[in-house]
Each structure stands twice: as C-alpha cells, then as structure tokens.
Amino acid sequence: MSDVKIAAELRTEFGKGAARRLRRAAKVPAVLYGHGTDPVHLALPGHDTMLALKTANVLLTLDIEGRGSELALPKHVQRDPLKGFIEHVDLLLVKRGEKVTVEVAVHVVGDAAPGTLVNLDQPTVSIEAEATHLPEGIEVSVEGLTEGTQILAKDLTLAGGSSLAGDPDQLVVNVTAAPTAEQLEGEVEEGAAEEAEAGEAAADEASAEAPADES
C-alpha cells in the first residue's frame, strides 16, 4: 500500500485547554511513540488526517518540523461519540522492513447456496506483515457454499508476506440454514409476548410501590 504524507507540528502545550485550542484551529492532537523512544507530541492537520484515516492500517509519512520524516501507523483513534470528529490519535513509530501485528477487516463476497444464511462471526483477524505492505482487507468468497460450511482463520488466503498472528482455528465465517417464514413469525410472536410480560411486570411493580390512598 502507498503511504500518505502529512505535515506535523511539534506540540509544546498540553492539557484539555490546549487540546481544545488545537481543535478550534482545525488540528488534531497526536502522540508518536515506539522503538524505545520518548513520546513525541504532535499537532496534525485535521482535514488531511481525517481523509488519511479512512483507509484501514494506513501508513503515514510524518514530515515533522525540525525532525525530518518518520513512518507511523495509527494505533488508536479517539473520536467524539456524538459528532464523530477526531479528538486524538496515538501513532506507532515503524521502520521500513519491520513486521507489525494489526487487525485486518474480513470482507465476504459472492452468494452462498439458496436457503442459507452467511454469518460473519469474526469481522477482523490479526495478522503479521511488513509495515509498508499491510493489506486493507481480506476477501472471503462464499460463492455456492452450502449449509454447514465453516471457514476458519487458517483457511483465509493472505497477501504475500503476511501470516496469521491469532488463533488459526478461530471461526470466521459460518454458513447455516436460513430461517423459514414460520420460524421468523414465531420469533416475532415470542418477542411480542416477552415485551407484554415485561410491561405487565413493570405495571405491577409500580402499583405495589405507589402510596396508599389515605383519604
């Protein structure tokens, strides 16, 4: 995968107030660490960072003022829970040629046999690969697969130079029989009955807790 170049500024102010000022200036607070070095506190351009992080496991070339260029991978991205903007980024310092362990998304393609349901039990798998050759995802074809077929982590086709870092017997995709119309109708009726029972129980509890009428 190609790397994305981002200009980074060194930060000298810290704390919540400093972070808020950075965000008002359309910048993102970040910390670069790894290889036994002291953490480097950075400010990244907000728009460029947002675009770059849309790519999974993106390799960043940071042009840091006064320090030259460094390669980094996003390790943890903190976002505002309501508005979704990036609040802070932890970056892992990497070197060309070194291998790192990352989580890679699994993408299911194709159509299984009629009457089946495809369950993605594990949406990501852990792999080890060179920092400069990380795959964005792993495709799994379910074309024509029949009920009872299971795809384990060890069955996945990985990009050259990549290897599994997790449990090889981990279930990733499970092909089961699709529920019938009667089964779906039964589940709906059962859910409605449970909701009705819960409502009655809540009403009884509220009635029991209500103060007695003393008039």
Domain boundaries, the chain: 4-95, 100-177
Burial 182-205 (b: 16+ CB within 10 A, else e): eeeeeeeeeeeeeeeeeeeeeeee
Q: Which of 128, 117, 206 is nearest to 164 (CA)?
A: 128
- CA-CA distance, 125 to 136, in Å (whole number)? 12
DSSP string, 48-62: HHHHHTTSTT--EEE
Instruction: Say what the pLDDT of residue 198 is.
Output: 66
Q: Please list, in sequence order, all residues whose beta carbon lies within 8 angstroms of the beta carbon of residue 90, skipping any fewer than 6 positions away.
A: 30, 31, 33, 74, 75, 76, 77
Q: What is the pLDDT of residue 96?
A: 86
| pTM attached to this predicted model | 0.70
4-95 homologous superfamily: Ribosomal Protein L25; Chain P (2.40.240.10)
CB atoms within 10 A of CB 175: 19
Given the structure tokens 């509220």, which residue do they identify? 206
| Consecutive 10-residue averages of pLDDT for the chain (215 residues) | 83 78 85 89 91 89 88 90 84 91 94 93 94 89 94 92 92 90 65 64 60 51
Distances (CA, A) of 178 to 38, 141, 145, 184: 54, 18, 13, 10
Distance CA(103)–CA(57), nearest Å, equals 8
CB 44 within 8 A of CB 52: no
How far apart are alpha carbons 104 and 92 in whole angstroms? 16
d(CA 16, CA 176): 50
Rg from Cα positions in the chain: 25
Contact 97, 128 (CB under 8 A): no
pLDDT (0 to 100) of residue 93 = 93
Residue 159 buriedness (CB in 10 A; 0-12 / 13-18 / 19+): middle
Would you state the pLDDT for residue 215? 41
Contact 113, 145 (CB under 8 A): yes
* Assigned token pair, 2: 């190609």
Question: What's the pLDDT score for residue 20?
Answer: 78
Specify the pLDDT at position 82. Answer: 81
CATH class of 100-177: mainly beta
